Structure 1
Amino acid sequence: MTSPTLTAPQAQPAVPSRPLALRPRRPVGVLIAAGFLVLVVLAAAFAPLVAPYAPDAIDLSASLVGTGGDHLLGTDASGQDLLSRVLHGARTSLIAPLLLLALGALLGVTLGTLAAWRGGWVDTLVSRITDVMYAFPGLLFVVLIIAVFGAGMTTSVLALGLAYTPTIAKYTRSVALAERAKPYIDAYRVQGMGGARICARYLVPNLGRSVVGYLVVLFGEALMSLATLSYLGFGAQPPSSDWGLMVQEGQAAVVQGALLPAMVPGTAIAAVVVAFNIVGVWAADRLGSRR
């Protein structure tokens, strides 16, 4: 009788461990742009403490002075310190776009959600209205409103808010149609919940990420539009330190060889718009992917 042969247990193949989920690193350009925007917001908030002079302090003896110890960014034709005016003007240049986008979002999200939810003739009517407003040049529409109600920052904000409404409405309608087709909407309908309640409590909040990301992208364009109106004389009025108005006031000094009065606020506008575009595109991609 032969003894059974004992075989050594075979080693089991090693199971590769799952890699830990790593959070995607933010690009260096986004970090730089975000840091710059934080500095701009802080400078605008603490402008009375940071600015070396009052924004409306006139010193004709220091007219068109270049950069130096007394005036780090020089002065304009009236001897006003450009650094102080830019710091104080950042408040208007940042708050006004927020207000017009808030107005445009209030109207645009309402119209876009209504069109996507109701469909039929309501959707057709809203679509035709937005198409007509798209066909009408936005700047001409704003100028017509200003011609009726008068120039000023308040009128410019209201006019541009109405001009941005069809853009936001079309975007909201597109994302609301996709959200409306999801099963949870039908589940709430089966429970007997009304359409207005579903939209207010569930549909619109679920659109928040996408809409906010889109508004961040629009912020730079809104800032540029307001600066353009101020440059044309339709927006902020003297003695405001709005950046667009400062460019318009410093244009005459360019003939005399003084570039700083127009270049300093123009550079501020360009830098803030570029930074918001960089951060806005990144935020829109991130919010859209998480939706």
Structure 2
Amino acid sequence: MASTAASPTTTTPSRTPGSAAQALALNLRQGLRRLLRNPMTLAGVLVIALMLLVALFAPWIATHDPFEQNLKQALRAPSHANWFGTDEYGRDIFSRLVHGSRISLYVIALVTVIVGPVGLAVGSMAGYFGGWVDNLFMRITDIFISFPSLVLALAFVAALGPGLDHAVIAIALAAWPPIARLARAEALSLRHADYVIAAQLQGASSARILARYIAPMLMSSVVVRLTMNMANVLLIAAGLGFLGLGAQPPAPEWGAMISSGRRYMIECWWLVAAPGLAIMLVSLAFNLIGDGLRDVLDPRSE
């Protein structure tokens, strides 16, 4: 009598993460997959990645010394020897553009590092405590936000004096209020959440609640806002450089390059076209990445 052997059952491996670290890694992989699935966001990521590589390897990518002057080669049109032409001092525009990416990334990174924690702290405290704390912080925020960012940055840098570091401080002072208002709006909706009330009943201090329960829930919205704010930071930095209040000559800052080339732009269009195109592409890329991050991090977009 033939005995029927029970076929072993095949079990599919569970995708349920076994720890918080595994859950975080799984969420990051899924978010990155969704982020790169959007062709516009992918284009923005590629532009910023290219800019990072150019800034990192600028000495090897640049074909000339960005500060070397050669008046005999002044105002030369784009050619095989000078890919983007030369400026009024005979300096290679392509090389100056490549080295200028370092200045732009320096300003964007430093302003973001300053603005993110300040805006998050002010907004979360205002939304959580409410009352006079909220009124005090929001009235200060309203004063800052009532002026256009570029005008406010001009006022601060005029008081501090021209220079790249002073421009960074001025831009940071003008860029934190939108982050604070966003964090405050999110904190208002979270301060009466069940898990926050449970932490209060267990005797958790306000600082612990803000750091462990409120701030992490605000991070997604703040990150999206900071990413989209990077385009505005780049434009303000270029505006200050154009007015001679940012990076000082002979630094190859993109806004300053446009300022020095505007006197010859009718006959020598490449003087302003190259840095202007770089500013436009990088600003557009940051906006595209911000839109993609909003779609990934906002649960309402599901």
TM-score (norm 2): 0.85
In the aligned structure 1, how far is the partner of 2:193 from the partner of 2:232?
Answer: 33
Report what 2:40 is aligned to: 29
Report what 1:106 is aligned to: 117
> Deviation string for 1:210-256 (max 9, x for gaps)?
2111100111111111101110111111010010111101111214x
Report what 1:195 is aligned to: 206
Find the partner of 2:296 among 277, 286, 289: 286
In the aligned structure 2, how far is the partner of 1:136 from the partner of 1:33?
Answer: 30
Question: Are 1:208 and 2:235 matched, yes or no?
Answer: no
The amino acid across from 1:146 in the alignment is V
Q: Are 2:187 and 2:218, in contact at CA under 8 Å, matched by a contact in 1?
A: yes
The amino acid across from 1:261 in the alignment is L
Q: Which runs of 5+ in 1 are unaligned?
A: 1-21
Find the partner of 1:186 among 192, 197, 201: 197
In the aligned structure 2, how far is the partner of 1:218 from the partner of 1:289?
Answer: 21
Report what 2:69 is aligned to: 58
Report what 2:244 is aligned to: 233
User: What is the RMSD computed on CA atoms of the aligned residues?
Assistant: 1.8
Find the partner of 2:228 among 206, 214, 217: 217
Q: Which runs of 5+ in 2 are unaligned?
A: 1-29
The amino acid across from 2:297 in the alignment is L
Question: Size of the alignment, in residue pairs?
Answer: 269
Distance 1:128 1:275, change over 3 A: same
Q: 1:284, CA displacement in angstroms? A: 1.9
Question: Are 1:271 and 2:281 matched, yes or no?
Answer: yes
Q: Are 2:38 and 2:292, in contact at CA under 8 Å, matched by a contact in 1?
A: no
Higher-Rg structure is 1
> Deviation string for 1:36-90 (max 9, x for gaps)?
2211110111001111111101111111111111111111111111110000000
Report what 1:154 is aligned to: 165
The residue matched to 2:68 in structure 1 has which SS?
coil
Find the partner of 2:84 among 67, 73, 78: 73
TM-score (norm 1): 0.88
